[in-house]
Structure 1
């Protein structure tokens, strides 16, 4: 194999990129599809370098955590072609940078293959001999401002990191960050330098498949930004068995000291080390690291300079406390870094690609303090300061203050307002946060805007998205457009729709139905209204941000619509239930289909990525929305006649009610549903179960369904079915519906369907028709996401599905008044009365909510 320096004599390149073959048959890359040795990787790099040719050209590479993208990147570096590395998951950013820099070669994936689009044989640009890499500092916005990095920058940074991390050729690093992000790229470079292996994947640490690959690849290390550690908490990282893990690195933003301390202690107990690091793209990647043995005792520190680098503190002309004049504290100032990894300078136009070094030391913009032990601590960010009403505010300090009050938040500001996005729930929490911020900063309340969110906005790298924070905290417009709105006006119209149906005042373009606490009772109305406005119902709309919901480009006047299968089943089930009870027809099995649908919707609306306390709170809210209207109606009837007992009123008939009162079992379904939901929410309130569900979202309900079959087949010595609550014997149907919602592959759906087809028969001895209806409904739920429909049919089905609980509740009292005259009229009257009760309950709920909010405003 030809060695690249011989192929391109005199070309300046990055040594580790053209020295791959020296590592021989060692494993270089591990993917889900197999392994690639260093010899094989070097051969592919050599072939691609030949393809790129001898003439230096600007190569725009669409970044991806794939072998093909890695080969193009290394080939360009080895052959001396400057690489403009761009985010692969943002086509707009890619096009923006193509338009701004007119690259000579564009390397990108297309149709499962990797293409080198050679736009010209000779570069259209003058390229400085030292220029090796161009990276953006602005995430995925496509900003034309780029960092110019040299061959020496890349080599020096990789050597420095490999030295202080003690990277060995036996290490295997997982790519938890994007290739186009300097932190993720530095992991790749430093491990290739030492002949270590890369576990190349774009899977999230929240995905169980990531950990399967990590274990199979004998992973020894991975990198994380602060948000990565949020995900690690959610998936139960602390209890994982990772026998080969040697160290974990953290950078990309400040990790709270208590979390640094906690993860360092976790690592000490499990036999791995935590390296907290500090860096910027302008320094290629790293400038400082905290020696692991100090992580538990000095978790607030950024650490010491990386090998080959040094810091100095430049006095501040305007200190954060509002004083003027240079700071007299020689141990505090703006942090300035020097070292061989400092960038050449910035590029804003193609003409800048010809420039050499314009920067010799890096002014970080961070305010730091040097401790007596020689450690550096970041205490603020000069460029993030906001001057509001004459007061100089450090948003980073505001975030730290809120963290001390157990509030996870991002903060930014302009000349007039301090903007805070925080994780929480409700207007009362927003008011509390606003009071804390105003008091701490000395600002009037009107200068603080708070937006409560289910999750904080993040860039694809996991870093905070402060531009999104500003957008989210802008005051909402007062008017909205109608169905004929332009695409730009659609989100505004949808925000008002979501606010009305979900009775929320904190709806933003980033909100989704699930993040706003939507549940199965509001889902139907929202899906019908959304389908009417958009002309179609996008797949996964309930978890899609409002800003991404758009009508089709070629929307026409057709009245053809689709109806979600879960909605159709709810509507048909309540018709069957009421019609069978009145003997209009005899189609039974609707209530048991509704149990499967309830499990399906529970998984979709409550088992989200929100933190445990939010999920549990929403679960109890849904239980209340079933139990309270039921108890209100039963209580009213209890005052009028003796059909029911106090056991019915408190939904305890299945547990304590008299066996000889036939009317007592009218509400068996509601009791069963409430008991099952209480059990499910109670189970998920346990941290260990919550972590298990996040790691194994399909396996957990499947396991629960298996446990439910013990009672379904009476394998545990239970009393006869009529002597125990129905919830015990029908739970397996709810669990199968839950598992169906979490099925992501054909194999999983086949398994769930087979389980239903095997276990439903025999549940109703002598009534195979009922069992067939239940099995058919379940199969539709699993395999057919939507059914063809019409606008009028959608409206009718939506009305019935939304009101199904209330129809079920009230029909027992309505139809006996009329069925002696006409069963069909009794059937219709039962439906209409239940719909009216549902409308009245919804109106009452919104009125109480509005009065509560108004009371809160008056109190403030």
Structure 2
């Protein structure tokens, strides 16, 4: 580090500017030499209490000249390494702690900086003489620092960014205006103007504070450039600051670095700041980047882990005193940041490998969530666990932030916990103190359990409808079958017993129906599950088991169609407004299509036994080309039937007189449709061959009739029709008793006994029924090919893959709806309005 010993060559030029005067390079060299003499002797581990004062900088230079390994620590905060120090220097005070038996130090070790940052674990970065020299020269080169420049110390010395400013300026004979004051302190900018400051450094938080001091109106005639690092600044802010600099005659340098690279790795040339505000630019002189692919990273834009090489890469980490004797343990720096190269050849950081949550099968990038909230005008810090995304936000409506974050991530609204704080906890570097945030959320009292008097809060959380009132019902608030399953389980816990037709019951009436306290003992563990939910879960398990040969239980899919009709009637048709019915049915069809088509496209492209035309027709509407017995499109007959039947119902309900009759005759109209469906079921029209979709339509109509039945007589009629209609429904069974029994259970038994655990499992399985049906045909051969054909393992694998695909589809659908409504959810924009009703109506489960 030549600049450490060569300060005197700049002679009388001012090195340090303070409130009491100037210190020349000659005087600083003399002072550092005197301190070096006091510290002379065997190399030791020296802890320097860092502050932006002349004595501290002189002591730092003196300690380096004396050959010690220097750890710069905050002046007023404890460090676990203080107890290991051989020497402690605090201002003018020098304390020798270990006169004998000092630590063994590697010859190249010169400087140690803490990288605890936001991780909470205090380990040290070991930097060599060459690291410091190389980075100081590189930064001075691309910033074009000259001996006429003057920087103000806006960052602490123990922070690598702040220390880098000191290094690069001393290396060029430039001047440092020393202060530990905040940029918002009275007189700060007066001093900067008086001392003709030409530059200052800031982290994103610094630029937030600049707004408070009216920086745009400040008169700083000597300001030549401003640097920004220490975290990503929103592109809009970068562009705005760069434009301000262009108007005022100074330049903005956006920089990127880590302590492990002695502060700097990349910079964005100022002339590119307005054109490429989301980029960190190019490698600093002497350094280079490469991008290593990440197979598990979503997207195909060439993103991967950013890896840096250069002479400023650290020797390695020190996690214990013995590590101070280690030599070089790393040759390149794996940054942990995920980046891509733009078309302009610039590096753009798109994520961070370490700051992720995995919730409901979704990969949540906490950094990206913060950026999206910032783009929407919200200052927030994000942490979380395996149960929730936790957001601390400054001065904003927590309900609004929760809705926006849930919308952007695809998470259910009740899994996003938002707390309002007066300000975010920050480290000395200005970065958010995430350990403190995590501790604050962990220490906060959990949300009280929902009791019968707070049902509106429960509806607000589950349905993401803060506008819910006591007069609203589940259906009027846009509830659907996914939220229906979740709400059923939560209401069962809150009320004890859920009344019939609760989904159309106003909240105030539900509150009055709360059951008395449960009995003790084993009876207190008994819960209930709605039959339609249980049947959905049971049916898909039986379907998968039948297809792998574990059960010989054909007919479960037929029973599932009745459940479809039952839930269609209760949700999509549970309104007296015709267009609302049409919109809800249209949303359901769009949802089925969005989940189904990607699978159909992939398998038709990858497997010769499938064609897209054959899949969409299931051998009925559009004959597949070419057709042969080996073709396997028949496997998906259920999906295609589901789609076409709902399209038919959409067209039917759109007819005004049909809509009116369905309201006037909630049982009679669906039973009429059952009769029409049975004509197709039995192929009763001479010369007409009905497709499979028409053959099973009567089952969906039966489900609709079950929802409309009001007395025992009507249920008896349904039961007789079901028994007759199921006779010979399957080619290999003269009468499928099993399917009949499943449908009759739906007719006569509204609830089934269960446990809390079974309720949760059944809820997950039921919600992903359609996705499981879609993917299980492809999971089965994979399990067989890898000799993993254990029946239980295979069924579980199909259910798990189905649930994961369902969550992925949910994520994609949420973003597609946001894009369609011009509510972008990528890193450059954030929705600023609550979810629209249309989005709510498509946020439910796969099949009703």
After TM superposition, the score normalised by the length of structure 2 is: 0.52
Q: Which residue number corresponds to residue 362 of structure 2?
A: 391
Q: Deviations over 1:552-609 (max 9, x none)?
A: xxxxxxxxxxxxxxxxxxxxxxxxxxxxxxxxxxxxxxxxxxxxxxxxxxxxxxxxxx
Larger C-alpha radius of gyration, 1 or 2? 2
User: Could you report, residue by residue, the CA deviation over 1:691-736 in whole angstroms, capped at 9, with x for unpaired residues?
Assistant: xxxxxxxxxxxxxxxxxxxxxxxxxxxxxxxxxxxxxxxxxxxxxx
Q: Report the alpha carbon displacement of residue 460 of structure 1 after superposing the two structures with TM.
A: 1.8
- For residues 348 and 99 of structure 2, what CA distance do their matches in structure 1 show? 50
How many residues align? The count is 448
Cα 1:478–1:284 shift into 2, 3 Å: closer
How far apart are the structure 1 equivalents of 2:411 and 2:262? 39
SS of the residue corresponding to residue 354 of structure 2 reads helix
Which residue does the alignment assign to 2:294? 316
Whether 1:30 aligns to 2:17 is yes
The whole-number CA distance in structure 2 between the counterparts of 1:115 and 1:475 is: 39
1:74 aligns with 2:74: no
2:30 maps to which of 43, 46, 55 = 43
Change (3 A) 1:454 1:211: same
Q: 1:289–1:303: 8 Å Cα contact kept in structure 2?
A: yes
**Alignment-derived partner of residue 392 in structure 2:** 421
Structure 1 unaligned blocks of 5 or more: 1-13, 322-327, 481-860
Match of 1:107 among 80, 89, 97: 89
Task: Kindly report the root-mean-square deviation, in angstroms, between the aligned alpha carbons of the 2 structures.
Answer: 1.8
Within a 5 Å distance, the mapping from 1:128-207 to structure 2 comes to 128-139=106-117, 143-207=121-185
User: For 2:251 and 2:223, how far apart are their aligned partners in 1?
Assistant: 9
8 Å Cα contact 1:449/1:473 also seen in 2: no
Determine the structure 2 residue equivalent to 1:371.
Answer: 342
Whole-angstrom distance in 2 between the partners of 1:320 and 1:386: 14
8 Å contact from structure 2 (residues 118, 433) kept in 1: no
Partner of 2:271: 293
Cα distance between partner residues in 1 of 2:5 and 2:268: 31
TM-score, length-scaled by structure 1:
0.51
Instruction: Tell me the residue number matched to 2:437.
Output: 469
Task: Identify the residue that residue 507 of structure 2 maps to in structure 1.
Answer: none
Aligned-pair distance for 1:365?
A: 0.5
Instruction: Give the 3-state SS of the residue equivalent to 1:452 in structure 2.
Output: strand
Which of 51, 54, 61 pairs up with 2:41? 54
**Partner residue of 1:407?**
378
Q: Residue 142 of structure 1: CA displacement?
A: 8.4
SS in 2 for 1:351: helix
Q: Which of 340, 343, 364 is 2:314 aligned to?
A: 343
In 2, Cα distance between equivalents of 1:128 and 1:62? 22
C-alpha offsets along residues 588-631 of structure 1, whole Å, 9 cap, x if unaligned?
A: xxxxxxxxxxxxxxxxxxxxxxxxxxxxxxxxxxxxxxxxxxxx
Q: 1:139 Cα deviation (Å)?
A: 4.0
State whether residues 250 and 275 of structure 1, in contact with CA within 8 Å, keep that contact through their aligned partners in structure 2.
yes
| SS state at 2:290 partner | strand
Residue of structure 2 in register with 1:216 after alignment: 194
CA deviation digits over 1:514-558, x for unaligned, max 9?
xxxxxxxxxxxxxxxxxxxxxxxxxxxxxxxxxxxxxxxxxxxxx
String of CA shifts for 1:174-222, please: whole Å, max 9, x gaps. 0000000000000000000000000011011101321122122111111
Deviation, structure 1 residue 75 = 1.0
Q: 1:120 to 1:160 in 2, by over 3 A?
A: same
Give the stretch that moved more between structures: 29-38 or 381-390: 381-390
Q: Given the superposition, is the C-alpha separation of residues 140 and 217 from structure 1 closer, same or farther in structure 2, using an over 3 Å criterion? A: farther
1:411-810 superposed matches below 5 A:
411-425=382-396, 429-474=397-442, 476-477=444-445
The answer on 1:237 being equivalent to 2:215 is: yes
Q: Measure the CA separation in 2 of the matches of 1:144 and 1:449.
A: 28
Q: Helix, strand or coil for the counterpart of 2:187?
A: helix
- The answer to whether the 8 Å contact 1:423/1:454 transfers is yes
In the alignment, what sits opposite 2:517?
none
* Distance in 1 (alpha carbons) for counterparts of 2:121 and 2:36: 28
| Cα pair 2:15 2:173 within 8 Å, conserved | yes
- d(CA) in 2 for partners of 1:38, 1:444: 61
Q: 1:365 is paired with a residue of what secondary structure?
A: strand
Deviates further, 122-131 or 372-381: 122-131
Q: Which of 1 and 2 has higher RCO (CA within 8 Å, sep 6+)?
A: 2
Alpha-carbon spacing, 1:259–1:214, altered in 2? closer, same or farther (3 Å): same
Give the distance between the partners of 1:144 and 1:294, measured in 2 at CA.
Answer: 37
